[in-house]
Amino acid sequence: MAAITQSPAVSVRRRRRLRFRPGRILVYGVLTLFCLSTILAFLWVFMISLKTTPEFLTTSPWALPQKAHFDNYAIAWQKAKIGVYFSNSLLAAFLGAGGSVLLSALAAYVIARIPFKFNDLFGNYFIIGYMIPLMLTVIPMYFMLHDVGLGNGMVPLILLYIASGVPFNTFVLRGFFESLPGEMEEAAAVDGASPFRAFWQIMLPLSWPGLVSTFLINFMSLWNEFFFALIFLTKENATMPLGLFYMAQRAEYTAQWTDLFAGILITTIPALLVFALLQDQITRGLTTGALKG
């Protein structure tokens, strides 16, 4: 009887799913075109990176390479110093994202879990900090760092990376800490644990999805950062975006465009790997913090 009574409702739901919806088809069509354009762009860059310089200059840009020259990647890695740029970007992005997430977790925990008079005030303060464009602060920050002897180099760049990610990370992690149950924290306090120990050994591991999500988002943003790197770094210690900029300038005079396209593909490898392997982790972490926060 239950199956008989439920079957009409199930059939109605199925008919609703199969109903023609022009709006949804339009959205899927636009997304499909966007994906195809992105894939074609990657394929075009990949084909150019396999050509020789004379072949690139004399044949059609859409022509297939006569022979795949994978040695262009080795040339770009060694002679064009892509390897040095890659390691510099990895160092700056990893330290900048890691330090920013750690500081933000401390601030978010205090705002979310420790009641005091100015909880909302400090929370809104971080939101306002996230709304201020970094371009407006670059001049006073440069002179301030220059006055303390940090006018250029990797150290001031990493410090700026850490500071620039604190407002957004604090906003996201605050939602995670607010969603965590307080029973474990109360049990730790009864056992004599200090607030910092409860944070470090209990609350921080429980907020691991939010920490991973914010770290990956910050890492990818800093991996592609160009403006601050242009101001604080030189050609010898440049990161990947800045290194590609120097390679593009060199290609205008030497016509070494194939090395540049090989370097572009090498630059995209970390982003592709992160989103291919950890896309679900990033989405789950951000949506959990947003819904429960």
Q: What is the pLDDT of residue 79?
A: 82
Q: What is the pLDDT of residue 293?
A: 45
- Specify the pTM: 0.79
pLDDT surpassing 70 at residue 285: no
pLDDT surpassing 80 at residue 96: yes
Pick the CATH number of 74-292 from 1.10.3720.10, 3.40.50.720, 3.40.1180.10, 1.20.58.410: 1.10.3720.10
Most trustworthy range by pLDDT among 223-232, 265-274, 279-288: 223-232
pLDDT surpassing 70 at residue 155: yes
How far apart, in Å, are the Cα atoms of 191 and each of 110, 188, 198, 199, 200?
20, 5, 10, 14, 15
pLDDT digits (tens, 9 = 90+) for 158-195: 999 998 888 888 888 888 888 877 777 778 777 777 77
Q: What is the pLDDT of residue 102?
A: 92
pLDDT digits (tens, 9 = 90+) for 37-93: 888 988 988 998 888 888 888 888 788 888 888 888 888 888 888 889 999 999 999
pLDDT surpassing 70 at residue 8: no
Q: What is the pLDDT of residue 90?
A: 92
What is the DSSP secondary structure assignment for residue 135, as one 8-state letter? G
Cα of first residue to Cα of last residue in the chain, in angstroms, is 43
Helix or strand run (H / E) with residue 249 = helix 240-254
Q: What is the rounded distance in angstroms from the CA atom of residue 92 to the CA atom of residue 111?
A: 28
DSSP 65-108: PSS--THHHHHHHHTT-HHHHHHHHHHHHHHHHHHHHHHHHHHH
Instruction: Provide the residue ranges of all domains of the chain, joining segments of one domain with +.
Output: 2-49, 74-292
Q: What is the pLDDT of residue 239?
A: 92
Q: Average of pLDDT values for 121-146?
A: 81
Q: What is the pLDDT of residue 15?
A: 54
Q: What is the pLDDT of residue 288?
A: 57
Q: What is the pLDDT of residue 62?
A: 82
pLDDT surpassing 60 at residue 20: no
Name the pLDDT band for 292 (thresholds 50, 70, 90). very low
How far apart, in Å, are the Cα atoms of 246 and each of 68, 152, 202, 221, 242?
25, 18, 47, 20, 6
pLDDT surpassing 90 at residue 256: no
* Cβ 263 vs Cβ 82: under 8 Å: yes
DSSP SS3 for 268: helix
pLDDT surpassing 70 at residue 207: yes
Q: What phi-psi label fits residue 187: left (phi over 0), alpha (psi between -120 and 50 degrees) or beta?
A: alpha
